[in-house]
Amino acid sequence: MSCLMVERCGEISLDSPDQNAKCVRMLGDARVRGQTGVLSERRGSYPFIDFRLLNNTTLSGEIGTKKKVKRLLSFQRYFHASRLLRGIVPQASLYLLDEDYLGQARHMLSKVGMWDFDIFLFDRLTNGNSLVTLLCHLFNVHGLIHHFQLDMVTLHRFLVMVQEDYHSQNPYHNAVHAADVTQAMHCYLREPKLANFLTPSDIMLGLLAAAAHDVDHPGVNQPFLIKTKHHLASLYQNVSVLENHHWRSTIGMLRESRLLAHLPKEVTQDIEQQLGSLILATDINRQNEFLIRLKSHLDNQDLRLEDAQDRHFMLQIALKCADICNPCRLWDLSKQWSERVCEEFYRQGDLEQKFELEISPLCNQQKDTIPSIQIGFMTYIVEPLFERWAQFTGDTPLSGNMLNHLRRNKAKWRSLLHKQHSSSRSNDHSGQVTGSQEQTLKKEETP
């Protein structure tokens, strides 16, 4: 296991003294260089974007301390709750969660493979712990805890780290989104065309990548980080900036928690690399690259899922689908996600306007309406990908269900957009009449 360097108030702690030579310290950044050369970022290094904090490094120690205490308290709560979810009834009643809520959460977990799974309700029932609870359940369902001989306490510690490193103040890129993507990934991993070939390693990689694919997301996009000269943009040379950060942060959490420390070094190194490949595939700028490759495979019928490389490619496609599957959900759920992501766009636009920066596309609340944003997203991003995914899976109930929801939801957004245009024209016409009336009155009042 490579060394782990954690910076807290100017101090550095190492896994063991004899690993000093492997550690690299950089001002404003703490990373780990493993024997494979993969760098991991110190958790909590990059809080949400706030211009008051961009150039203020004195708060990092305070932030780290608060998160450490919060993490410890959360871990105790999650561990207690998980005992109930595994059917272990404690002697003392759990005061943090009502028994009725836990019963409903258990009932929902029994239907976690259903596409109409309501992640918002599940998050409320688990007191905001949807990601930790869901992952513990899925790791157990898929037999990963037994297969990889994972320690339950260590697994909880790692999952708490992941959940806590999502920023709840983000309307969209938060732990609930991660849980939603993870639940979708679970559904895709069960598609017969893929499931028949998956190994335990494939399943664990898919679930871990889904859970951590947006960890520590700052709530703004890559162009914003580049034009504000954020240190992450410099660190990753303006290429897949956020995705690289999510990946390296995940590696840091894996090493800090020592979740996989008992596995052979070459196995953990391979897991870290493959996690990176999966998470980096979620970069929307690489959409055409993956679509072209998928189309080529499907047209040539040369996918061989017995081959680890082809399986990994389809895991990348599955994760990309899971990441943008909101338009394929039931309307009530899909609409909530649409409103949340647009709210995050608008917040970025407000920041850009406040600091006299050019407002990014889709971030101008006065010009970019939710229906127009969603129709464009569905047409150019979602539909091409999910049509190819359905071609891969064949005529399965899930693929048909998702495409039907996608078409119905797009029709509803079109209807809402039409109503907005009609209302706008009506208001404009009303304004013109009022203006004409004012001119008439003025003429009558003129001597």
pLDDT at 137: 96
pLDDT at 364: 97
pLDDT at 421: 85
Radius of gyration of the chain (CA): 24
Catalytic residue selected from 137, 167, 173, 245: 173
421 annotated as ligand-binding? no
Give, for all 447 residues of the chain, the pLDDT tens digit: 333 333 223 222 334 334 333 332 222 233 434 445 577 765 554 444 444 433 333 333 433 444 544 444 444 444 444 444 444 433 332 334 456 778 899 999 999 999 999 999 999 999 999 999 999 999 999 999 999 999 999 999 999 999 999 999 999 999 999 999 999 999 999 999 999 999 999 999 999 999 999 999 999 999 999 999 999 999 999 999 999 999 999 999 999 999 999 999 999 999 999 999 999 999 999 999 999 999 999 999 999 999 999 999 999 999 999 999 999 999 999 999 999 999 999 999 999 999 999 999 999 999 999 999 999 999 999 999 999 999 999 999 999 999 999 999 999 999 999 999 887 776 665 544 344 444 433 333 333
173 annotated as ligand-binding? yes
Structural domain boundaries of the chain? 99-424
pLDDT at 223: 97
User: Which residue is it, tokens 């680890």?
Assistant: 308
pLDDT at 255: 97
Tokens for 2, please give them: 């490579």
262 annotated as ligand-binding? no
pLDDT at 44: 52
pTM passes above 0.95: no
322 annotated as ligand-binding? no
Q: Can you give the three-state secondary structure of the chain, one letter per residue?
A: CCCCCEEECCEEECCCHHHHHHEEEECCEEEEECCCCCEEECCCCCCCCCCCCCCCCCCHHHHHHHHHHHHHHHHHHHHHHHHHHCCCCCCCCCCCCCHHHHHHHHHHHCCCCCCCCCHHHHHHHCCCCHHHHHHHHHHHHCCHHHHCCCCHHHHHHHHHHHHHCCCCCCCCCCHHHHHHHHHHHHHHHCCHHHHCCCCHHHHHHHHHHHHHCCCCCCCCCHHHHHHCCCHHHHHCCCCCHHHHHHHHHHHHHHHHHCCCCCCCHHHHHHHHHHHHHHHHCCCHHHHHHHHHHHHHHHHHCCCCCCCHHHHHHHHHHHHHHHHCCHHHCCHHHHHHHHHHHHHHHHHHHHHHHHCCCCCCCCCCCCCCCHHHHHHHHHHHHHHHHHHHHHHHHCCCHHHHHHHHHHHHHHHHHHHHHHHHHHHHHHHHHHHHHHHHHHHHHHHHHCC
175 annotated as ligand-binding? yes
Residue 173 appears among annotated catalytic residues: yes
213 annotated as ligand-binding? yes
CATH architecture for the domain at 99-424: Orthogonal Bundle (1.10)
156 annotated as ligand-binding? no
